[in-house]
Amino acid sequence: MPDGSLSSARLAALVWPAVGLVIGGMSLVETAIDTFLPSGMVTALPGVAVGLLLAVCPRWPASAAVVGSLTVLGNYALGTPGPGGAQLIGMGILVGHAAAVLPARRGAVVALVATLVVLVSGFAYVPSPWEGFFYLLVTGAAWGVGTLVRQMQARSRELQVLAGRLAEQQEAVAASAVVAERSRIAREVHDSVAHSVSVMVLQMGGLRRLLPDEPEAQEVLLGLERLGREAVDEMRRVVGILREGADGGTAAHPAPQPSLSRLDAVLAELRAGGLPVELRVTGEPVELPPLVDVSAVRVVQEALSNVLRHAGGAATTVELDHAPDRVTVTVTDDGRRRLPVPDRSAETAPGGHGQLHMRERVSVAGGTLEVGPVRGGGYRVRAAFPVPADRPTVVA
């Protein structure tokens, strides 16, 4: 415990003995200057006893209040008309202290018992009942003040608890604000930087095709294209970690990136939702560049989402073809609606932003995209991505 707290505790422990000393001393002085008391200084004993009770009342509040009211019997036994002013004040303080520190019901009982003791004693020893009624007023006032003090202490404790909870909530709000800011930064990075770098890669690819007779320039531009795609891929990895941390606090352990090697699990979720979808894999799978792998999966997901939205959950086939120099994903539905399709007559452009996003994603990965209806009914989405020839084979 710090020295300051120890000193404060010691001072607090001396408060009630000091109050008792004051009340006892006032009783002695009051008795010494009163020339009408028949028994002399001995009549100060009840007041001194109340002072002693005040010194020990923190340990025994109920007993001290009741015994304090019994001291009035000593006044009557010594021939005095009742308790003196200092003694009466001390008796009221004892009742008020009990009401402040004890539970509400027990404090009221103690005040009632102390009052009854004085009233009964007054009626028994003094023909006039005014002394007892006067003490009744003193006791009632003391009990009321003690009750207010107890309520204020309880409210203070409640406010301390609420303050602690408010501090915790403020910390939680601050943490949420940090998480929200991370999410906002992630979105801004994705929307601005990724788009700009993607456009640069596309422009370098167009420039390279315009220089067929400049092999050295083509080599430089091809290297820049590759570097740009790798930069976009790495940036999206970092942005993905930021978004995952903002959404679920899992930045330290980000979720695995989508992959064609786990495509069957994605399709299983759609099958469980009622979409008849079949997966066909041809060729020998190889380890794909992360950007190509993620982009291919996103194209499949977007195409299947379009089947659900526009084709009424028609039967769909997903074909995954691994060639030595490229990987091709094809999503074809048969056009036979199995579920009702909402009215989309108000939409101006069929395909909307879904096809635009697929084209942008495929272009950034260096691939090509073909979309359109199939003769005899249905719709097909086909994306082809280039694959370096030196990629290792995936072991199933």
**Residue 101 pLDDT:** 84
- How far is C-alpha 71 from the chain's CA centre? 58
- Is 303:267 a contact under the CB 8 Å cutoff? no
pLDDT of 218 above 60: yes
Residue 95 near residue 50, CB atoms below 8 Å: no
Q: How far from 324 is each of 2, 150, 284, CA to CA, in Å?
A: 76, 85, 8
Residues 396, 391: Cα–Cα separation, whole Å: 15
- What integer is the mean pLDDT of 48-64? 85
- The answer to whether the beta carbons of residues 197 and 235 sit under 8 Å apart is yes
- Count Cβ atoms below 10 Å from residue 118 Cβ, excluding itself: 27
Per-residue H/E/C for 168-198: HHHHHHHHHHHHHHHHHHHHHHHHHHHHHHH
Query: With 90 as the cut, is the pLDDT of residue 382 above it?
Result: yes
The pLDDT score that the predictor gives to residue 387 is 86
pLDDT tens, position by position, 280-333: 999 888 888 888 888 888 888 888 888 877 776 788 999 999 998 899 999 999
Q: Say whether pLDDT at 194 is over 70.
A: no
Token readout for 328 is 């091709």
Tokens representing 93?
């303080």
Can you give the pTM of this predicted structure?
0.42
State the DSSP string of 311-358.
Answer: SSS--EEEEEEE-SSEEEEEEEE----SS-----TT-SSTTHHHHHHH
Sheet holding 326-333, edge to edge: 277-283, 316-322, 326-333, 379-386, 368-373
* Candidate ranges 148-152, 159-163, 382-386; pick with highest mean pLDDT: 382-386
Closest C-alpha to 249, from 173, 175, 171, 165: 175
CB 376 within 8 A of CB 334: no
Closest CA to 367 of 351, 389, 350, 382: 382
Q: Quick one: three-class SS letters along 210-272?
A: CCCCCHHHHHHHHHHHHHHHHHHHHHHHHHHHHHHHHHHCCCCCCCCCCCHHHHHHHHHHHHH
Q: Is 374 helix (H, G, I), strand (E, B) or coil?
A: coil
Tell me what pLDDT residue 153 has.
83
Q: Mean of the pLDDT values across residues 30-56? A: 75
Comparing 394 with 85, the larger pLDDT belongs to 85
pLDDT of 244 higher than 60: no
Residue 370's pLDDT band, with cuts at 50, 70 and 90, is very high
- Domains (ranges, CATH) in the chain? 3-166 (no CATH), 260-342+350-386 (3.30.565.10)
Tokens of 368: 């090509």
The per-residue pLDDT for range 287-297, each reduced to its tens digit, is: 888 888 888 88
* Structure-block tokens of residue 115: 């009052």
pLDDT at 352 over 60: no
- The total of other beta-carbon atoms located within 10 Å of residue 47's CB is 29
| Tally of residues, the chain | 396
**163: pLDDT strictly greater than 70:** yes
| pLDDT, averaged across the chain | 75
Q: CA nearest 114: which of 167, 63, 149, 169?
A: 63
pLDDT band at 395; cut points 50, 70, 90: very low
Q: Which pair of tokens denotes residue 277?
A: 């979808």
Query: CA-to-CA distance for 134 and 170, rounded, in angstroms?
Result: 53
Mean of pLDDT values over 43-49: 79
Q: Pick the residue with more confidence: 96 or 33?
A: 96
The pLDDT assigned to 211 comes to: 75
Q: What is the predicted pLDDT for the residue at 350?
A: 43
Q: Which residue has the higher pLDDT, 20 or 205?
A: 20
Residue 9 has pLDDT above 90, yes or no: no
Q: State residue 316 phi and psi, 5-degree precision.
A: -130, 145
40 pLDDT band, cuts 50/70/90, is: low
Per-residue pLDDT averaged across 51-62, rounded?
85
Q: Residue 332 forms beta bridges with which residues?
A: 317, 380
Give the type of residue at 176: S
Q: Percent of the chain at pLDDT above 90?
A: 7
